[in-house]
Amino acid sequence: MKLLDSGANDYLTKPFGSEELLARIRTAIRVRRQSVLAREESVFVNGGLTIDYEKRIVKVDGRPVHLTPIEYKIIVLLSQNAGKVLTHDHLLEHLWGPYAGDSQTLRVNVANIRRKIEENPADPVYISTEVGVGYRMEEAGESDA
């Protein structure tokens, strides 16, 4: 137990079989891979747009962008579903709950986000509108074309 308390992740007592050793090695590799993937997935990058989910920081071309809490929730939800259209209803329910009102508030917030992250909000690169349906965060690489 002293080994675990002093920082070891695992240990084997003698005698041990090769199958148990190999199983523990596979487990250690799996845990390591999951840890690496989790760190990689904690940052979304699309062209000049970077969202660090752990630090709650949004940057465009290295410049920090201040977003309100609801704007941040919207951009995170869109970025975590990059390439997919999220309907107005889905966004409203996810952000404001099942009793959310009309989509005008959503439209205003998306317009505010675009003013803050887009070079030309009238011709958005990162967040596109699917008229009458919802919004889509472009996947990395698509906005660079």
Phi, psi of 49 (to 5 degrees): -90, 125
Tell me the chain's radius of gyration from C-alpha atoms.
22
Q: Is residue 71 within 8 Å of 63, Cβ to Cβ?
A: no
Indicate the pLDDT class of residue 27, thresholds 50, 70 and 90: confident
Amino acid at 54: E
- The pLDDT value recorded for residue 37 is 55
Residues 6+ apart with CB under 8 A from 86: 77, 78, 134, 135, 136
pLDDT tens per residue across span 46-79: 999 999 998 999 999 999 999 999 999 999 999 9
Lowest mean pLDDT among 21-30, 42-51, 127-136: 21-30
Q: Is the pLDDT of residue 142 over 90?
A: no
Amino acid at 59: K
Crossing angle for the helix pair 69-80 and 104-117, nearest 10 degrees? 80
Across the beta sheet with 127-130, the strand order is 85-87, 134-137, 127-130
Q: Is the pLDDT of residue 86 over 50?
A: yes
Q: Is the pLDDT of residue 85 over 70?
A: yes
The whole model's pTM is what? Answer: 0.69
State the chain's mean pLDDT as an integer: 85
- What are the start-end ranges of the H helices in 81-120? 88-96, 104-117
Q: Is the pLDDT of residue 34 over 70?
A: no
* Stronger pLDDT, 26 or 71, i.e. the higher one: 71
